[in-house]
């Protein structure tokens, strides 16, 4: 198992949360309450348990609330912040944070999803497959809501299918990545850029791999899935829709 104590983790917590506005309107999506605590605490707990000691929170809309909530320390994690002043998308936010990313590679987590995973094993998997970028994948009964990822026998990513285009079981992006600095620097430094829609498809054939996992997955992006979040964390059984 790998040692993550010198690895910088990044949590992409700058989303507007437009689809959640009907149930969470006065705070960033990552501060939405789940079981009486902010959703981001579950991600930070996961990083802390994996041995990560330095995390950068990429914030945007109402980002000052995130900094006020967590300050510069959470359990064993030293926290830093990269605040976007206009929406940059997941790719743009990550590119903005590059100057404060002190390790190569970096571990990146989407701030609005959670996947059970052995985070410390991901860098080892990446090295074994000589990947420049590794996406954790998880298998779901129906990929229509999330979009599908196709990989070959070695794990190299072959294609991404857009949300709503393919129905049925398959692999999806679980929102956890191990990425090299060299690839991060290829992300455009201006404008709004999406990792999922623009950056990752452009990296196909350039060292982008998908690591199949079997952990339960939760995305709080809709009122329905957000409503199922508390049961997800308390029951430990099944996966919400």
Give the tens place of pLDDT for each residue, 152-198: 999 999 999 988 888 999 999 999 999 999 999 999 988 899 999 99
Tell me whether residue 185 is in a domain: yes
Report helix angle 39-49 to 63-70, nearest 10: 50
Q: What is the pLDDT of residue 13?
A: 94
Measured distance CA(109)–CA(30) in Å, rounded: 12
Would you say residue 66 lies in a domain?
A: yes
Best CA proximity match to 42, nearest among 13, 15, 19: 13
Per DSSP, which regions of the chain are E strands?
Answer: 8-13, 33-34, 37-38, 54-59, 73-74, 77-83, 106-110, 113-115, 133-140, 148-151, 157-161, 170-179, 208-213, 217-219
Going from the C-alpha of 239 to that of each of 55, 209, 220, 235, the distances in angstroms are 27, 25, 12, 10
- pLDDT of 98 reads 97
For residue 240, tell me if it sits in a domain: no
pLDDT of residue 90: 95
Q: Give the position of tokens 């300050």.
A: 71
Answer whether residue 227 is part of any domain: yes
pTM of the model: 0.94
pLDDT, position 37:
95
| Rounded Cα distance, 149 and 65, in Å | 34
Residue 19 pLDDT: 55
- With beta carbons less than 8 A apart as the criterion, state whether 138 and 174 touch: yes
In which domain, by residue range, is 222 found?
Answer: 8-235
Q: Using a pLDDT cut of 90, give the percent of the chain over it.
A: 80
Query: Residue 18 has what pLDDT?
Result: 59
- Domains: count for the chain: 1
Q: Annotated catalytic sites, by residue?
A: 163
3 lies in a domain? no
Residue 2 placed within a domain: no
With the CA atoms of 214, 217, 93 and 201 taken in that order, what torsion angle do they form, in degrees rounded to the nearest 10? 60
Rounded Cα distance between 157 and 176, Å, is 15
Does residue 22 belong to any structural domain of this protein? yes
Domain-embedded: residue 158: yes
pLDDT of 22 strictly over 70? no
Separation between Cα atoms, residue 202 and residue 142, nearest integer Å: 25
Contacts of 88 (CB under 8 A, 6+ apart): 14, 60, 95, 96, 191, 192, 193
Supply the CATH number for residue 116's domain: 3.90.550.10
């Amino acid at each position: 198992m790998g040692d993550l104590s010198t690895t910088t983790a990044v949590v992409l917590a700058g989303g507007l949360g437009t689809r959640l506005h009907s149930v969470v309107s006065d705070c960033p999506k990552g501060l939405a309450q789940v079981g009486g605590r902010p959703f981001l605490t579950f991600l930070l707990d996961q990083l802390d348990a994996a041995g990560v000691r330095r995390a950068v929170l990429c914030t945007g809309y109402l980002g000052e609330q995130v900094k006020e909530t967590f300050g510069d320390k959470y359990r064993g994690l030293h926290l830093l912040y990269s605040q976007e002043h206009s929406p940059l998308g997941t790719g743009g936010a990550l590119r903005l944070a590059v100057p404060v990313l002190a390790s190569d590679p970096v571990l990146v987590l989407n701030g609005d999803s959670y996947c059970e995973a052995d985070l410390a094993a991901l860098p080892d998997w990446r090295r074994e497959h000589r990947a420049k970028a590794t996406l954790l994948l998880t298998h779901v009964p129906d990929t229509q809501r999330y979009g599908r990822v196709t990989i070959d026998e070695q794990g190299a990513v072959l294609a991404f299918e857009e949300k709503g285009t393919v129905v049925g079981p398959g692999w999806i992006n679980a929102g956890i990545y191990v990425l090299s600095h060299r690839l991060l620097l290829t992300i455009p430094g201006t404008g709004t850029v999406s990792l999922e829609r623009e950056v990752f498809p452009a990296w196909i054939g350039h060292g982008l791999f998908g690591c199949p996992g079997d952990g339960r997955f939760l995305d709080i992006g809709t009122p329905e899935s957000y409503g199922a979040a508390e049961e997800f964390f308390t029951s430990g059984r099944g996966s919400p829709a």
